[in-house]
Amino acid sequence: MTDHAERPSIFEQSYPVRSFEVDFTGLLRPVALLNYLQDIAGEHADRLGFGVRTLLERGLTWVLSRSHTRILHYPRQGETLRVATWPSARQGVFALRDFEVHDGQGRVVALSSSSWALLNIQTMRPVRLEGNLPDYPTRGRRALEVSFDPLPELTDAELELPFRVRLADLDINLHVNNAIYAAWALEAVPEEVLKTFRPEEIEIGFRSPAFYGDRILSRSRAVGAADAPCFLHQLLHEQEARELTRLRTRWRPLGEF
């Protein structure tokens, strides 16, 4: 087995901000940032010996349970970001993984913490980490000190937008990709907010998967002040009225980033 010296607990990778990853203002889209985090998490898991492709051969896979991302700065096209990730802890059936993102000047772009479960594909239920994963190093340090308390349920929406799951929305597990849920949620925000604010915090609680052809309803309600918007979000399986995801987003004026 590969020893810990050959499997560093912190893994780093560079990501150039490309033209198709920025919005109409030329700033990095939040969903592109989330994709960077997902990509480096998968790359590091591969190097530690428990990437998705390896696990699928044993009837297992990773599913993201919770994530909390704080964005301090929005980079522009042409900048290169340095993303670092590390396994931060194990909590019962959950493996915690944290992230730090810096720009070329060393400025902190984003901090994120996430919680992952190891899923049995046949039963669709979490399994214990012990005995199903090789030993791997963890670091006690967290990028964000969050406890992943349950997110509030959205009971009365102000905005609703329908979506249909495309093949392009699916990951290797044939589930909707994690970042797609955030994209759907952010679309269900008033136009005036989208044009003049940017998310500074995105919290996501995944509850149930969605599959090709499903019809999804993205719902939201404002719960914060007009000058510092906060939204509760919910993604529903429209045909089954099944809750897929809860989110909470906090926004700051575009000029403050």
**Identity of the amino acid at 107:** R
| Cα 43 from Cα 10, distance rounded (Å) | 12
The verdict on 82 and 180 lying in the same domain is: no
How many Å apart are CA 245 and CA 175, to the nearest integer?
13
The answer to pTM > 0.75 is: yes
159 and 139 in one domain? no
Domain extent for 183: 150-257
Write the pLDDT tens digit of every residue in 98-126: 999 999 999 999 999 999 999 999 998 99
Question: To which H or E segment does residue 173 belong?
Answer: none
Mind listing the pLDDT tens digit for each residue in 22-49? 999 999 999 999 999 999 999 999 999 9
Clarify whether residues 50 and 117 are in a common domain.
Answer: yes
172 plus 243 within the same structural domain: yes
Tokens for 247, please give them.
């989110």
228-246 per-position pLDDT tens digit: 999 999 999 999 989 999 9
Q: Are 94 and 113 in contact (CB under 8 A)?
A: no
Do residues 15 and 29 share a domain? yes
161 and 242 both lie in a single domain:
yes
Same domain, 134 and 236: no
**Does residue 172 sit in helix, strand or coil?**
coil
Token pair of 246 as six digits: 């809860």
Q: Of all residues in the chain, what percent carry a pLDDT higher than 70?
A: 97
The answer to whether the Cα torsion of 208, 56, 130, 177 is positive or negative is: negative
Q: 18 and 137: one domain?
A: yes
Helix intervals (H) in 29-165: 30-48, 52-56
Could you tell me the pLDDT band of residue 135, with boundaries at 50, 70 and 90? confident
Question: Is 84 found in the same domain as 65?
Answer: yes
